Structure 1
Amino acid sequence: MTKQRVPRYSEMMNPLLAALRDLGGSGSISEINETAAGHLDLPDDVLEILHNPEKSNQTEVEYRLAWARTYLKKYGVLDNSNRGIWVIRPEKRDVEQVDSDEVVRFVRELSRREREEREAEEPEEASEDAPEEAKTWRALLHRVLTQELSPDGFERLTKRLLRESGFVQVEVTGRSGDGGVDGKGILRIGGLLSFHVVFQCKRYQGSVTSPHIRDFRGAMVGRADKGLFITTGHFTRDAVREATRDGAPPIDLIDGDLLADKLKELRLGVEVETEVVERVRVNNEWFRFI
């Protein structure tokens, strides 16, 4: 599968805006990506092309949508919060379409001036060209999980993750011929309800497909209330549909991005330092009344 079949990021700007309008003017990255993919009307095999399997589980479409968001933010149409929610700026809510060529020209000129200013101040520093929302810690974590951590280590990490998330009696039981069930546990909610859960944890650098989900469901039937599939990779659209198919035992999915977020939230192998930035502004009006 070639990346040439994926539309350019500039061609994704208006479908991206349409997706945000469908979502009511704001949305998470995953919501935007899924809705924009519908507007782009791309076949599944194109949507599943990975940008760089060695570094992340991000698809090429998701990568180019990230660039589209970055360009539209610099152009002044979009904004985003620290929690990763993207919004159409209030004063731009009436904008239904943009001239993508004009957006590209504006942002490239802006970036050129910013780059010249940075080089003038710190000429020895060079920054890698990447979408604004790209998180370098995610790429590093993805490499550690897929290349440095052993399969047994990944199972132990999953066990710790589930326990930290409220599971009890967590066991890793994976064995040959077990249909992909790697373990089981009990999720307790509020001290009143409990659900028996079986899980599969796989270090994939590619996509998890619907046959993987069907095989896992077949192995979990009669053994648990719910299934949980955890991967460092990416779930195809067919896999997501299969996991939530009506009338079938439900399976919750945790892909590489959600796994990274959870490890960060629980501080499992991910350290977070909060920096406080002091901004000082002189109030000219105040001095007029001294």
Structure 2
Amino acid sequence: MTIPSFENLRLYILKHLANGGTWRKAQLVEPIAAHFDLNAEDIAQEYESGNGAILADRISWALSYLTLSGLLTRPKRGHYIITDLGKEYAQKNEIEITAYVKQKMAEREQAQKLDGKETDAVIEEVNITPKEQLEFSFNAIRQEVYREILETILSKTPQAFEKLVIDLLQKMGYGGRLEKSAQVTRQSRDGGIDGEIREDVLGLGRIFIQAKRYQTDAVIGRPDVQGFVGALQGQNADKGIFITTARYSADAVRYVQNLSSTRVVLIDGLQLAEYIYRYDVGMQTEQIFSIKKLDSDFWDEMPDDANKPIK
């Protein structure tokens, strides 16, 4: 199932808390998952950047905005109780709740401006969390870099591309710590093989590589892949990697999946760019943003002031 947006979580949270009691975020995960028919994989799903679980983040922001809007209150850090106003809105629909939350957040921002205080930006599209806004920006930047990677590869020679592929596979751990474990095959004698990687000192395990530098919108079909498999068999090899800047046809993918005695991995242009980005081949870090959260163990050791509930 699709994980609901934090906007879609708010009504259910209000209805659930309207039954009474004090609730923590962790206690809401199970009933929310059951209500929205989410499985264990959905619950554990993380953002692509690895910055935490998506569902837990959306629950956190739903609770935060409901609290800032006066629909919930926090008697102490991490604990939530529904207010009388929250019980009223638990009987309304999602559109009314969204409109109310957006209005209250706008009022809060305006009040802070009048007080001369710095203010958190109010989210215009309240159906995504601030962390998700960062994720979307991060992904947009990354996709642009992927495009630049492929454009740059296409501007280089075929021989440079073959060397790049070898460097990437070594960065990914193929060949281990063996000296000169990888090499580009001499063009005049490649027989459809562009490179190879030795997996052990004696060369008993070898992975053969074919690297094809095509336009990104080109499609590599089964005949090309089948030709590579034939080249592998000519080398008495059972493992190969076919890497391209283009795409593979569905028929080519099915052919590889149905091979029995030979294992072939297909890496298309997008996957190639992702691997180059992830393993820092010809890449450099431009900027790092550090996002921090409270250390629960540290703060929970401090005694709470029962007379001053958190607002």
Question: TM-score normalised to the size of structure 1?
Answer: 0.50
Question: TM-score normalised to the size of structure 2?
Answer: 0.47
The structure with the largest strand share of the pair is 1
